[in-house]
Amino acid sequence: QVQLQETGPGLVKPSETLSLNCTVSGGSVSSHYWSWIRQPPGKGLEWIGYISYSGSTSYNPSLKSRVTISLDTSKNQFSLKLSSVTAVDTAVYYCGSNPHEGVWTYWGQGTLVTVSS
């Protein structure tokens, strides 16, 4: 059973870079597809992007210019970087995965990131 755990700062200043890690247990980042999804408080879900086990990536065009998702096989984790954040980036950020890209069977518990000075 794959388990995911998001870690990172809960508060980021405007214009800075949001950085989160997702640590994988019960599985290997060398298989499956690994995604980030976010949910502003009280609102719906937004797909941010994914990275495959081979390292290929795909991002939501609405965020593409500011997003980087990467794999660290030595730590069995993957990461999200979102640059030039503003208040609209305040959300619960989830990491998710599945053997097949597109849906998410496994989810982290989510971490709230607030963008504020």
Subset of residues 75 to 94 that bind another protein, contact rule: CB under 8 A: 94
Binding another protein (rule: CB under 8 A), the pick from 62, 73, 84, 114 is 62
Binding another protein (rule: CB under 8 A), the pick from 23, 60, 68, 83 is 60
Instruction: Report the b/e string of 3-23 with b at 16+ CB within 10 A.
Output: ebebeeeeebeeeeebbbbbb
Contact call for residue 46 and another protein (CB under 8 A): yes
Q: What is the C-alpha separation between 69 and 60, in angstroms, rounded?
A: 12
Contact call for residue 110 and another protein (CB under 8 A): yes
The token pair at 92 is 């619960």
Which positions touch another protein (CB under 8 A)?
44-47, 58, 60-62, 94, 96, 101-105, 107-110
